[in-house]
């Protein structure tokens, strides 16, 4: 029976392929049609004559993946099962119960329910431990993040029953939660740094990015912000249209933002077309080696028009435009159809002629060559030099956006021991437990992040507790322990508390006190004339 089913699937796959080939034959060129029929005949021979059974589905998928790898690093195949996961982050929502969580000691720990989300509506609160889902025990079973997603996510309007253990409550609590659409925000933080200066941290360019940005920007403007620090570090990109719309918030007068062009794609120009929140005022954009694609479109446009100052390290270097093309089984390919160019004509895409492996290792090679520490470790050929459109400064193409002001990677912030405490999640776990035990007192003592930032003290006793906790779970304690001279670790400690009490925005408000990119941006904004004369005007 299994053999017949397998054979039926193979025959069905071949028939589907042949039907597609016949339907598409009029639009295919002669050579492509000829090779397509050749491949179809090959599958037919395998099905009819091969000695063993074969999985045509896997064979076709492998063939597609292999061919795409030969083209460029960003043309990819996405299986039907992965399409939904991919779309969630770009569409800006998923369907579930609405909690941020952590797995602490093999137990699902609620950090915070989504404001006005399904869980908050029924009474789930920060610090709750979910121990059962639909009568199934989930505590102490080796729970993973994927397990949590499969248990708690599901179609809108469906129900999920959870049992919760709550601190200071003797009995278990039961809740029935009706799943709903849960937003995935693209803005991690937005706050007033100090008088006149605002900060926005953007993690992706999704369908909701501009709605979020306008809301955050409008709020900042109402609080007296005229100058903006836009943090695109770690932002790997997203929708081209969202990048254009964001750049439009800073540029006026139909200025060119980006243009795309390819063999089968005529040149298409994207211009500033709408009034923007920050067409006036000073702009700083923060980038690093993970800032890519849409982040580079915005940074390149701002740099080319001398509209602001770019601070950080050289960006990733992705200047290829992908189009998503759906295949019959719900899978799709992301096919590179064009390259994008900044207003001065710079191609930001870095070379990929040496193959995929070399391309993927390029960032690590930058680190090996010292580029993360010394800006002069990279040299651009004269052929890749361009002039900005107003001040005629020299900028470079052919491999990412080179910042106007270089900030080296901070390799001294943490000791090896402290890095292990952070990398292994020990500090995060310790703070979660600390906040859980002291949530009521912390909430009543520190009404907002300003009070927490100014008044909360990470005492020596707390650091000794952290040191002991690290030892208990197997991390070797450094001889002198952690003390209050470890300012970066102490700042991170307070930032984690702020995240667990408030939100990620408050986390960044505290952690940015020690961020060299942000602190340099503040210095530049306060001394704009000095830096502007050197960098822009």
Q: Tell me the percentage of the chain whose pLDDT exceeds 70.
A: 90
369 contact partners, CB below 8 Å, separation of at least 6: 377, 378
Is 60 exceeded by the pLDDT of residue 5? Answer: no
What is the rounded CA–CA span in Å between residue 236 and residue 292? 5
Q: What is the mean pLDDT of residues 423-432?
A: 88
Residue 524 lies in a domain: no
Mean predicted lDDT score pLDDT of the chain: 87
Is 60 exceeded by the pLDDT of residue 25? Answer: no
- Position 472 scores a pLDDT of 87
Please indicate, yes or no, whether residues 162 and 120 belong to a single structural domain of this protein: yes
Q: E strands along 195-289, which residues?
A: 197-202, 227-231, 256-262, 265-271, 283-287
Instruction: Yes or no: say if 360 and 73 are a contact pair by the CB < 8 Å rule.
Output: yes
- Position 483 scores a pLDDT of 64
Of 124, 159, 183, the residue at which a domain comes to its end is 183
Residue 312 binned pLDDT confidence (cut-offs 50, 70, 90): very high
Q: What is the mean pLDDT of residues 332-358?
A: 91
Please indicate, yes or no, whether residues 255 and 386 belong to a single structural domain of this protein: yes
Please indicate, yes or no, whether residues 138 and 228 belong to a single structural domain of this protein: no
Is 70 exceeded by the pLDDT of residue 534? Answer: no
Instruction: Yes or no: say if 385 and 396 are a contact pair by the CB < 8 Å rule.
Output: yes
Residue 473 lies in a domain: yes
What is the rounded CA–CA span in Å between residue 122 and residue 137? 21
- Position 481 scores a pLDDT of 60
Q: What is the mean pLDDT of residues 406-425?
A: 85
Please indicate, yes or no, whether residues 343 and 464 belong to a single structural domain of this protein: no
Q: Which domain holds residue 479?
A: 416-519
Please indicate, yes or no, whether residues 239 and 139 belong to a single structural domain of this protein: no
Please indicate, yes or no, whether residues 303 and 238 belong to a single structural domain of this protein: yes
Residue 535 lies in a domain: no
SS3 of 11-71: the string is: HHHHHHHHHHHHHHCCCCCHHHHHHHHHHHHHHHHHHHHCCCCCCHHHHHHHHHHHHHHHH
Instruction: Yes or no: say if 453 and 382 are a contact pair by the CB < 8 Å rule.
Output: no
Instruction: Yes or no: say if 287 and 312 are a contact pair by the CB < 8 Å rule.
Output: yes
Residues for the chain: how many in total?
537
HSE of 507, CA atoms in CB hemisphere, 13 A: 15
Please indicate, yes or no, whether residues 403 and 420 belong to a single structural domain of this protein: no
Please indicate, yes or no, whether residues 23 and 160 belong to a single structural domain of this protein: no
Please indicate, yes or no, whether residues 281 and 345 belong to a single structural domain of this protein: yes
Is 60 exceeded by the pLDDT of residue 78? Answer: yes
Of 137, 155, 183, the residue at which a domain comes to its end is 183
Strand partners, 95: 181
Residue 253 lies in a domain: yes
DSSP secondary structure, 328-388, as one string: TTS-EEEEEEEEEE-TT--B-PPP-TT-HHHHHTHHHHHHHTTTTT-GGG----GGGEEE-
Least confident among 321-325, 410-414, 424-428: 410-414
Residue 328 lies in a domain: no
Is 70 exceeded by the pLDDT of residue 257? Answer: yes
Residue 345 lies in a domain: yes
Residue 168 binned pLDDT confidence (cut-offs 50, 70, 90): confident
**For residue 297, what is the domain's CATH number?**
3.90.226.10
Is 80 exceeded by the pLDDT of residue 210? Answer: yes
Q: How many domains does the chain have?
A: 4
- Position 164 scores a pLDDT of 93
Q: What is the mean pLDDT of residues 406-412?
A: 88
- Position 2 scores a pLDDT of 44
Please indicate, yes or no, whether residues 173 and 205 belong to a single structural domain of this protein: no
Please indicate, yes or no, whether residues 101 and 177 belong to a single structural domain of this protein: yes
Of 377, 407, 437, the residue at which a domain comes to its end is 407
Residue 88 lies in a domain: no
Is 70 exceeded by the pLDDT of residue 320? Answer: yes
What's the helix, strand, coil split of the chain in %, to 5? 40, 20, 35
For CA atoms 23, 26, 27, 32, the dihedral sign is positive
- Position 137 scores a pLDDT of 92
pLDDT per residue as tens digits for the range 484-511 = 667 889 999 999 999 999 999 999 999 9
Please indicate, yes or no, whether residues 191 and 299 belong to a single structural domain of this protein: yes
Q: What is the dihedral of CA 511, 287, 206, 182, to 10 degrees?
A: -10
- Position 30 scores a pLDDT of 67
HSE of 438, CA atoms in CB hemisphere, 13 A: 12
Is 80 exceeded by the pLDDT of residue 90? Answer: no
- Position 3 scores a pLDDT of 45
φ/ψ of 76, rounded to 5, equals -140, 160
> Which helix (H) or strand (E) covers residue 307, if one does?
none
Please report, for residues 78, 343, 364, the alpha-carbon distance to residue 384 in angstroms, rounded to integers and kept in the order given: 34, 14, 23
Q: Tell me the percentage of the chain whose pLDDT exceeds 90.
A: 50
Question: Which pairs with CB-CB distance under 8 Å and at least 24 residues apart come from 271-278?
Answer: 272/247, 272/248, 273/248, 274/248, 276/248, 276/249, 276/250, 276/251, 276/252, 277/214, 277/217, 277/218, 277/221, 277/249, 278/217, 278/228, 278/249, 278/250
Strand partners, 120: none
Least confident among 79-88, 303-312, 342-351, 371-380: 79-88
**For residue 113, what is the domain's CATH number?**
2.30.42.10
Residue 445 lies in a domain: yes
Residue 4 binned pLDDT confidence (cut-offs 50, 70, 90): very low
């Amino acid at each position: 029976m299994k053999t017949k089913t397998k054979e039926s699937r193979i025959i069905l796959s071949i028939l589907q392929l042949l039907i597609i080939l016949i339907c598409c034959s009029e639009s295919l060129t002669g050579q492509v049609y000829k090779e397509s029929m050749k491949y179809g005949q090959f599958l037919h021979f395998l099905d009819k004559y091969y000695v063993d059974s074969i999985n045509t589905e896997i064979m076709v998928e492998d063939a597609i993946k292999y061919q795409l790898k030969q083209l460029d690093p960003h043309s990819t195949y996405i299986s039907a099962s992965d399409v939904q996961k991919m779309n969630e982050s770009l569409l800006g929502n998923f369907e579930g119960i609405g909690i941020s969580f952590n797995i602490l000691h093999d137990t699902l720990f609620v950090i915070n329910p989504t404001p006005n989300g399904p869980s908050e509506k029924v009474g789930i609160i920060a610090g709750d431990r979910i121990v059962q889902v639909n009568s199934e025990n989930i505590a102490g079973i080796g729970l993973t993040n994927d397990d949590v997603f499969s248990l708690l996510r599901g179609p809108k309007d469906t129900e999920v029953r959870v049992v919760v253990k709550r601190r200071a409550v003797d009995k278990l609590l039961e809740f029935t939660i009706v799943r709903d659409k849960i937003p995935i925000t693209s803005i991690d933080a937005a706050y007033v740094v100090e008088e006149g200066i605002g900060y926005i941290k953007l993690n992706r360019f999704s369908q909701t990015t501009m709605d979020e940005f306008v809301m955050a920007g409008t709020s900042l403007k109402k609080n007296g912000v005229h100058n903006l620090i836009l943090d695109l570090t770690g932002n790997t990109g997203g929708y081209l249209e969202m990048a254009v719309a964001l750049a439009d918030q800073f540029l006026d007068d139909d200025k060119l933002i980006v243009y795309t062009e390819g063999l089968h794609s005529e040149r298409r120009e994207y211009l500033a077309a709408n009034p923007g929140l920050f067409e006036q005022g000073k702009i700083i954009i923060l980038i690093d080696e993970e800032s890519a694609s849409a982040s580079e479109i915005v940074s390149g446009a701002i740099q080319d028009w001398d509209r602001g100052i770019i601070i950080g390290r050289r960006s990733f270097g992705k200047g290829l435009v992908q189009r998503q093309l759906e295949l019959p089984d719900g899978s799709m390919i992301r096919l590179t159809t064009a390259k994008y160019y900044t207003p001065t004509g710079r191609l930001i895409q870095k070379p990929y002629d040496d193959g995929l492996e070399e391309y993927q290792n390029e960032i690590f090679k930058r680190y090996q060559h010292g580029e993360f520490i010394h800006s002069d470790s990279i040299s651009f050929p004269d052929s890749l030099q361009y002039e900005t459109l107003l001040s005629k400064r020299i900028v470079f193409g052919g491999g990412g956006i080179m910042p106007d002001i270089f900030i080296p990677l901070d390799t001294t912030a943490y000791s090896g021991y402290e890095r292990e405490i952070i990398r292994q999640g020990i500090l995060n776990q310790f703070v979660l437990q600390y906040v859980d035990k002291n949530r009521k007192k912390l909430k009543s003592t520190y009404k907002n992040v300003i009070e927490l930032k100014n008044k909360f003290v990470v005492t020596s006793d707390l650091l000794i507790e952290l040191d002991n906790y690290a030892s208990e779970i197997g991390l070797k304690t450094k001889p002198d322990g952690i003390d209050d001279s470890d300012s970066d670790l102490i700042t991170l400690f307070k930032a984690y508390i702020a995240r667990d009490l408030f939100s990620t925005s408050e986390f960044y408000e505290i952690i940015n006190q020690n961020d060299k990119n942000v602190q340099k941006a503040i210095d530049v904004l306060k001394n704009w004339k000095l830096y502007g004369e050197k960098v822009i005007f």
